[in-house]
Amino acid sequence: MGKVYLVGAGPGAPDLLTLRAAEILKRAELVFHDALVHPQTLELAVHARKILVGKRSGRHSTAQSFINKRLVDAARKHAVVVRLKGGDPMLFGRAQEEIDGLRKAGIDFEIVPGVTAATAAAAELGVSLTRRGIARHVVFVTPRAAEGERENDWAASVLAADTAVIYMGAGLAEELGAELIGRGKSPTTPIALVEGATLPEKRAFHGTLADLSKLARKAGDGPAVVLVGEVLRAALAEPVLAEKIESILKRA
Ligand code: SAH
């Protein structure tokens, strides 16, 4: 019986991979990977057969139950099987379904974390998701529900949070903006849209919540997160405002 490693490939740039992930990829016999994984990351798996199973939101993808079954079958034939996922495997990656399948089949597994899109985007912007006196509460949400999935009030979380990072939301920008403003979020709330964080083609757009669909139209069709919250205000305005925030903080 082999072992299955659920490995985070990071947000894009191939050198944003943990040493542990690189070492496991070197030993891998089989790698099941998402579409967003960088080709250079896959090259690290020198001995492995590579199988694309992953998806880009909105496009057709291998059924999850089939992936779960393939992982179990693979571990019965191979010593080192890798399930390589974009970002961190434990966020919006359906890892739990794979873990449950492996547990049920009695297959040994291990999770290797990766850098998630939210923190990669914050790094690109040079804006901390938390900030003393302004943001002590960060949420990661997605408005996108799989077919048949329980409805869930993602907007309530964004309304309550100091900072929100919205995954898989750029394609729904118009609805997102309308929903949040309709539920009472100020249209002047600062936002940023970061596309392709850590990749050479990365782009970042700043604006307010009222501009969300406009910003999304400017972006391409690369993976993108939308950040919402006061921490982005300084980036929105002139440096003068950043200084003002600093002095308010000093007084507080
Ligand atoms: N497990 C991944 C998220 C998978 S869902 C993680 O931890 O990052 C896929 C979504 O992640 C995309 O729709 C987009 O919202 C976001 N994403 C992934 N890579 C990104 C990147 N390089 N820049 C911006 N957003 C990214």
The domain spans of the chain are 3-112, 117-251
Q: Evaluate if residue 239 carries a pLDDT over 70.
A: no
Nearest CA-CA partner of 31 in 52, 15, 17 = 52
What is residue 150's DSSP assignment? P
Instruction: Report pLDDT for 241.
Output: 53
Predicted local confidence at residue 57, as pLDDT = 47
Q: Is the pLDDT of residue 240 over 90?
A: no
If one counts every other C-beta atom within 10 angstroms of the C-beta of residue 35, the result is 13
The pair of three-digit structure tokens given for residue 195, joined into one six-digit string: 């596309």
Domain at 117-251, CATH homologous superfamily: Tetrapyrrole methylase, C-terminal domain (3.30.950.10)
Q: What does the pLDDT read at residue 247?
A: 64
Query: Looking at residue 234, what is its pLDDT?
Result: 82
pLDDT (0 to 100) of residue 252 = 64
* The predicted structure's pLDDT at residue 45: 98
Whole-number Å distance between alpha carbons of 41 and 26: 10
Pair 85, 34: CB distance under 8 Å: yes
Q: What's the pLDDT at 58?
A: 46
- CA–centroid distance, 2 to ligand 1, in Å, is 29
Closest to 186 (Cα-Cα) out of 143, 133, 229, 136: 229
**Helix (H), strand (E) at residue 138:** strand 138-141
Which pLDDT value is given to residue 96?
95
What is the residue-averaged pLDDT of the chain? Answer: 91
Mean pLDDT value of segment 146-152: 78
8-12: average pLDDT: 97
> What whole-number distance in Å separates Cα of residue 222 and Cα of residue 82?
25
Window from 19-33, 108-122, 187-201, 222-236 with minimum mean pLDDT: 222-236
- Residues 159-184, mean pLDDT to the nearest whole number: 96
HSE-up of 190 (CA within 13 Å, CB side)?
15
Model confidence pLDDT, tens digit, residues 34-80: 998 999 999 999 999 999 997 654 445 568 888 999 999 999 999 99
Q: Which pTM was predicted? A: 0.91
Probe target for ligand 1 pocket from 140, 168, 201, with the most ligand atoms within 8 Å of CB: 168
Active site residues: 34, 55
Q: How far is CA 77 from CA 3, 21, 70, in A?
A: 10, 21, 11
Asked whether the CA dihedral 166, 168, 170, 173 is positive or negative, the reply is negative
* Fold match, 3-112 / 117-251: no
Ligand 1 atom having least distance to the Cα of 88:
7
**Percentage of the chain lying above the pLDDT 70 cut:** 90
- Architecture in CATH for domain 3-112: 3-Layer(aba) Sandwich (3.40)
At 79, list the tokens.
Answer: 């010593």
- Determine contact, residues 171/57, Cβ cutoff 8 Å: yes
242 Cβ neighbours under 8 A, 6+ residues apart: 234
> Could you tell me the pLDDT band of residue 142, with boundaries at 50, 70 and 90?
very high
CA–centroid distance, residue 129 to ligand 1 (Å): 16
The CA 101 to ligand 1 mean position distance, Å, reads: 24
- Average of pLDDT values for 195-216? 96
